[in-house]
Amino acid sequence: MGNSKSGALSKEILEDLKMNTRYTEDELCRWYASFQKQCPDGRISRSEFEKIYANFFPNSDPKVYARHVFRSFDTNDDGTLDFREYIIALHLTSSGKTHLKLEWAFSLFDVDRNGEISKNEVLEIISAIFKMIPAEEQKTLPEDENNPEKRTNKLWAYFKKGEHDKIAEGEFISGVMKNEEIMRLIQYEPKK
């Protein structure tokens, strides 16, 4: 069984990923080789995904966030991602402000997948984001967004929502698109 598996990345998936991410053919092929080594059955589990995420954030704790990212891509809930989903996950969580990225961000915040975001859901994800910010860097944050509660309140106020209101997908995407600052509130990019 095992040895008969082809080692190459299918042309179809390669072309798809080249078109939909910013990665080159060379990078994709290299990642595929290491993906295969780590996940010989072609699927990555949540704990393996969390380990890879941890490598990107050596000075903080990205575990909870990685779990939410994983959930947002594991749409059939089988506890694994294939290579394509895995690469799209890395791409969307690390690249610029595209509509696709914001569609994904919405699904990240919609923890219970009911099609709208509650204030509690925002707090849950923003708390996970905070765990990724190294302690030293947290001290340098603006006063009105230096803890998860304040940051959640700021976002909620921007959308002009009451405590028990909800944010729908279209509203979320167009709201974030219009405002650089809000974009910054809903993600964390490690300092280079």
Nearer to Ca ion, 41 or 112 (CB): 112
Minimal distance in Å, beta carbon 71 to Ca ion? 12
Phi, psi of 41 (to 5 degrees): -85, 5
Question: Distance (Å, rounded) from C-alpha 19 to C-alpha 1?
Answer: 32
Minimal distance in Å, beta carbon 122 to Ca ion? 10
Positions that interact with Ca ion (CB under 5 A): 110, 112, 114
Minimal distance in Å, beta carbon 110 to Ca ion? 4
Write b or e for each residue in 106-145: b if 16 or more Cβ atoms lie within 10 A of its Cβ, otherwise e: bbbbbbeeeebbbbebbbbbbbbbbebbeeeeeeeeeeeb
Nearer to Ca ion, 47 or 114 (CB): 114
Nearer to Ca ion, 164 or 192 (CB): 164
Contact 145, 185 (CB under 8 A): yes
Minimal distance in Å, beta carbon 52 to Ca ion? 27
**Sign of the Cα pseudo-torsion (135, 139, 142, 144, in order):** positive
Nearer to Ca ion, 112 or 165 (CB): 112
